[in-house]
Amino acid sequence: MKSEFEFIETIRRRYNLSKIGDDCAVLPKDSKTDLVITTDLLVEDVDFRLDWTTPEFLGHKALAVSLSDVAAMGAKPVWAMLSIGVPAQIWKTDFVERFYNNYFRFARKFRVEIIGGDISKTPDKIVFDSIVAGEIEKGKAVLRSGAKAGDSIFVTGSLGGAAAGLNLLESGIRYDDSAKIWQKPLLLKQLQPFPQIHTGQRLKEKSLATAMIDLSDGLSSDLTHLCRESRVGAKIYAGQIPFHKNLRLVAGSFEEKINYAVHGGEDYELLFTVNPKKKIRLENGLKNPDFSLIGEVTANAEIIELITGEKSSILEPKGYRHF
């Protein structure tokens, strides 16, 4: 079956859609500023389950996933809209109230103004469409398409935590008093992801990143997107991947950890490429250095190699896909 990525590629070519293909569309705003904008659809029983999460977590996450796209452009989020569809039996409860309270609280944290939205009834499942716009100095948006062979590849934070949290939820663990202390950070990484807004902006201000994408589908898929747009390939050094510190408690072997970190989605960290001449500036430029060098851009277009010790294997995009 055709994946959604293949379908988007088809319509992008057929209708010559030049604004499509990055975390956000980039539009001219005024003589000094560009507007970046993104939309993310979240569907009950596909993206979340009501018995795994809370209205508060969902309010946070609905905004966070779109903020993460704005972060990946290096932009400052400015305004947001939210469309929400809920069945009548949910409308009768305090779900929507609790959802919005946390959505607004999180928006205020980043001084994002809520400017509109829509509310609809649905037959039986909840759905959100989260729209966030950001602003950035004209021509400075960090695209997926700027990586060059020889650039170093970095990720922020740690990987695999959100996928391990999902695994815990699937095995019946819930974020409540019964959860073990080591499980909670993994569950939170899945339920309440934190978008890397400040790091994204710092990278842009210092003109450090040649290309950037947020890790939503999973490293293997998102790096493939970046490489396709940049017409390059990549080598990833397995031994340098920053695993979530509690990942070892879910994944026993190194192979298992790699699997979570490379193919597991929803970490909402940033993946970015840097000209090696600027590595020192990167280390000095980010105030709280929380990033890891994990590989290198190659000229081997769209081929991603995973280097484990002496061995090299081709890394196929096995991150999340809907179809």
Please, what is the minimum distance in Å from the beta carbon of residue 308 to its own copies? 33
Q: Report the residue from 93, 94, 109, 115 that binds its own copies according to the rule CB under 8 A.
A: 115
Taking CB under 8 A as the rule, does residue 104 contact its own copies? yes
Amino acid at 15: Y
Residue 139 in contact with its own copies, rule: CB under 8 A: no
Among 122, 145, 292, 298, binds its own copies (CB under 8 A): 122
Name 248's Cβ contacts closer than 8 Å, sequence gap at least 6.
Answer: 257
The 3-state DSSP class for residue 40 equals strand
Site membership for its own copies, residue 20 (CB under 8 A): yes
Report the sign of the C-alpha dihedral through residues 133, 139, 145, 146, in that order: negative
Size, binding site for its own copies by CB under 8 A: 55
- What are the residues facing 243 on neighbouring strands? 159
Instruction: List the one residue from 38, 54, 199, 246 that touches its own copies (CB under 8 A).
Output: 38
42 or 155, CB closer to its own copies?
42
Interaction residues for its own copies, span 62-101 (CB under 8 A): 79, 81, 83-85, 88, 91-92, 96, 100
CA distance 310 to 64: 39
Determine the residue type at 208: L
Phi, psi of 184 (to 5 degrees): -60, -45
**Buried b or exposed e, range 78-96, using 16+ CB within 10 angstroms:** bbbbbbbbbeeebeeeebb
Angle between helices 254-263 and 219-230 (to 10 degrees): 50
Q: What tokens appear for 300 in the block?
A: 């081997």
**For its own copies, which residue of 50, 98, 125, 206 counts as binding (CB under 8 A)?**
125
Is there binding between residue 180 and its own copies (CB under 8 A)?
A: no
Binding status of residue 7 toward its own copies by CB under 8 A: yes
Which of 46, 111, 182, 239 is in the footprint of its own copies by CB under 8 A?
Answer: 46
Query: Minimum CB separation from its own copies for residue 134, in Å?
Result: 13
- Can you give the C-alpha Rg of the chain in angstroms? 19
Closer by beta carbon to its own copies, 148 or else 321: 321
- Tokens (6 digits) for 319: 């991150």
User: What is the number of alpha carbons within 13 Å of residue 100 lying toward its C-beta?
Assistant: 15
**3-state class (DSSP) for residue 7:** helix
Residue 307 binds its own copies (CB under 8 A): no
Dihedral (C-alpha) 155, 157, 158, 162: value to the nearest 10 degrees? -110
The verdict on 116 binding its own copies (CB under 8 A) reads: yes
Does 31 help bind its own copies (rule: CB under 8 A)? yes
Contacts to its own copies by CB under 8 A: 1, 4, 7-8, 11, 15, 17, 19-20, 24-25, 27, 29-31, 37-47, 79, 81, 83-85, 88, 91-92, 96, 100, 104, 113-125, 127, 129, 131, 322-323
